[in-house]
Amino acid sequence: MQVKLSKKTRQFSKRKLAPLYLWGLVASVPLTANVQAADTQAANAQTTDVQAVNTQVAKTQAILLAKLQQQLAEHSLVRGNFTQTRTMEMFSQPLVSQGQFLLTQQQGLLWQQTAPFPVKLTLTADKLSQQFGDQPAQVMSASDNPMVFYFSHVFLSLFKGDTSQLMEQFDLTLSEQDNEWQLVLVPTSAPLNAVFRNITIRGDQHINQLRLNEVRGDNTQIDFSHQRTTPAALSAEEQRAFQL
């Protein structure tokens, strides 16, 4: 059975349904706009919350970094032993060296490797000296080899925990747990970011470990032990070592 609509009925349906259909489209516009506005407000609120959290985290990090730098600079000098382990993809076994170090806030760093062979490295504000065994020392300045001198002073800042200097070259993230701290440094520009993926320093009252992870996959870990701040004065031999 078929039901036929009269011409008048069909015309009425078209006239009535068309406006209803159009009204649905029109009515949906402000509804969609309201939803979008609500989503935008929620997103803006979330962004504001994230920015507030990031600001607070940055403030906390700044306080912790300042505290750490003050702590590490408390003593004019630190002496101790080191064990350096270098792992390279081209070698099946790590390369291990040992020795003693002397770090002073005024003079710089005296690095004396005793095994597997003797090497003495002295780094001051304007000079770098390297001596193998009984051979004459090789002394250079920044003008002699700017790149070597640049990297050497980055390492000096690492050993000192000089966070104000390190912030110019790295993004720093400091965390603390069980009276120990960990500082992760990610280089932000060349040439450091072409060499290092990241650098991690761990310690308590002093720096206990320094780990350098390279972009090519090699890494170097230096463990410090028997650290002490006495005697507070340099010996005559140590004073001569810094006179480059």
The predicted pLDDT at position 40 comes to 64
Q: Return the minimum-mean-pLDDT range out of 56-60, 68-72, 110-114.
A: 56-60
The predicted pLDDT at position 74 comes to 83
pLDDT band at 53 (very low <50, low <70, confident <90, very high): low
Contact 160, 147 (CB under 8 A): no
Whether 32 is in a domain gets the answer no
Contact 126, 108 (CB under 8 A): no
The residue range of the domain holding 167 is: 59-242
**Residue in the block written with tokens 């949906």:** 28
**In whole angstroms, what is the distance from residue 102 CA to residue 80 CA?**
7
| CA of residue 116 relative to chain centroid, distance | 31
pTM (predicted TM-score): 0.74
Whether 3 is in a domain gets the answer no
Whether 14 is in a domain gets the answer no
pLDDT band at 155 (very low <50, low <70, confident <90, very high): confident
Whether 19 is in a domain gets the answer no
Whether 155 is in a domain gets the answer yes
**In whole angstroms, what is the distance from residue 241 CA to residue 224 CA?**
21
Whether 80 is in a domain gets the answer yes
* Tokens describing residue 29: 């516009």
The predicted pLDDT at position 80 comes to 97
Whether 220 is in a domain gets the answer yes
Total domains in the chain come to 1
Contact 210, 222 (CB under 8 A): yes
Whether 16 is in a domain gets the answer no
**In whole angstroms, what is the distance from residue 146 CA to residue 191 CA?**
12
Task: Write the pLDDT tens digit of every residue in 15-45.
Answer: 433 333 333 333 333 444 454 555 666 556 5
The predicted pLDDT at position 36 comes to 57
Q: Give me the CATH number covering residue 191.
A: 2.50.20.10
